[in-house]
Amino acid sequence: MSDTKDVRRQAGWLPPQDDLEAWLEERQERVEADRDDVELHPAVVELQELLASDPLLRMYVERMLTEEPQGKPYGRRHIQDTGQLLRLIDQVLTTAPEFSEKVMVATPLGAIFDWPMGTTAGFAAFREPRFNAALKKILNAWCVFLDSPDSLYVLTDAEGGWMSEEAVEAIGIERFEHDPDAEHWGFDSWNAFFTRRFKEGERPVAEPDDDRVVVSPCESSPYAIGRDVQREDSFWIKSQPYSLRDLLARDPSVDDFVGGTVWQSYLSATSYHRWHSPVAGTVVRAFNVDGTYYSEADTEGAEATEPSSSQGYTAHVATRAVILIEADNPEIGLVAFVPIGMSDVSSCRIHPHLQPGYHLAKGEELGYFQFGGSTVCLVFRPGVVQGFSLQAIPEPDDPAAPAPPVVQVCSPIALTR
């Protein structure tokens, strides 16, 4: 099964399969060497106690570690039991993602869950609300570490550091706000580095005075365009139709978009992770939606477990935000922006000033992904979009399709009426 079909690998969140397995083996050896000296984090203890108290969930978790994953060509099983799984999770909570040109695991919890996510029992476990609530506490605990100065150990020029010559070239740090002479470039945590801003003028807003032009809300690669989207649809099948009621979390605006268009794209590990308004307009509502973290679509057999087949599904079930904007251009009208957190921390942080009635300039910052693999959707009313600037969306089932190019934030993506 080709890695080009897996957007996590295209986007640099996970390495190719052999390298991922080598990383898991090294982590496994490390936790086994330290197993007698480690006291589990309280959030991990809560998950441990949940599994001990819930026999059905415990069955799912134990089975997902022993079943063969669908569509994931592992050489062998790496996690032997629940105790080892908990220790692997615990180890992540005091580490920050390291840079590597060859084997970069930007989402370590996603790497640990990669095998169980593709099993029948895993499909069930990662949809279970109590399991997701426990994972949320673990992810929040990791976020506390990534917000702390302790996470700065990866912001050096040593091997694995983000200030190394190879990393500097990969991320293009000269384009971002930072202090080149300061320790850790002046950032006070990993998350501060991850959410770094572009320098003034690096990403000018396209056609700021032409309200027919919609700009890209993120620095991202096109994934899919859905047309004539329905109020309700079977978003879990291979063709990934968009179901507005589920995507927008049953918001009252759903009926405005029936028959309209959805544009979806995904972000890379080394990308800019802030969001910007696609149009000038007024905030109608902005809110967060709780959801799953590692759930994948399973209804189409083995291939549906690949993220290229699950991204549409993920947009409907994962933790996300919904921002509704009434465009100044009455021909555009209401637009929905939906940033979706996939895997690991996946924090969707809406800027607090985005209250109803607040007026946005086109390209104005809306919020950011604090950490995690991420995808975003823009939803338009029917008949609004005349055409998209980039039409070449690769087919998910085409293993030869190259990764689509990154569309710069605030560059034009659509022309409206």
Most confident listed range (44-53, 368-377, 401-410): 44-53
Rounded average pLDDT over 353-381: 93
Domains of the chain, residue spans: 3-151, 213-416
Q: What is the mean pLDDT of the chain?
A: 87
The predicted structure's pLDDT at residue 203: 96
Percentage of the chain modeled with pLDDT above 90: 62
**DSSP sequence for 311-357:** HHHHHHHBSEEEEEEEESSTTT-EEEEEEEEESSS--EEE-TT--TT
pLDDT grade for 395, boundaries at 50, 70 and 90? very low
Rounded average pLDDT over 241-270: 93
Give residue-wise pLDDT tens across range 30-83.
888 776 677 899 999 999 999 999 999 999 999 999 998 877 677 778 888 999
The predicted structure's pLDDT at residue 394: 47
Question: Is it the case that residue 104 has pLDDT exceeding 80?
Answer: no
Question: Is it the case that residue 306 has pLDDT exceeding 60?
Answer: no
| Burial call 7-34: b when 16+ CB within 10 Å, e when fewer | bbbbbbbbbebebbbebbeebbeebeee
- 3-state DSSP assignment of residue 113: coil
The predicted structure's pLDDT at residue 1: 28
Asked whether 303 and 238 are in contact (CB, 8 A), the reply is: yes
Give dist(CA 234, CA 223) in Å, integer.
Answer: 19
Asked whether 224 and 346 are in contact (CB, 8 A), the reply is: no
* Amino acid present at 233: D
pLDDT grade for 209, boundaries at 50, 70 and 90? very high
Count the Cβ atoms, other than its own, within 10 Å of residue 2: 12
Select from 60, 40, 179, 77 the least CA-distant residue to 122.
Answer: 60
The predicted structure's pLDDT at residue 90: 95
DSSP state of 400: T
Percentage of the chain modeled with pLDDT above 70: 88
Which pTM value belongs to this model? 0.90
Residue 220 CA to chain centroid, in angstroms? 11
pLDDT grade for 235, boundaries at 50, 70 and 90? confident
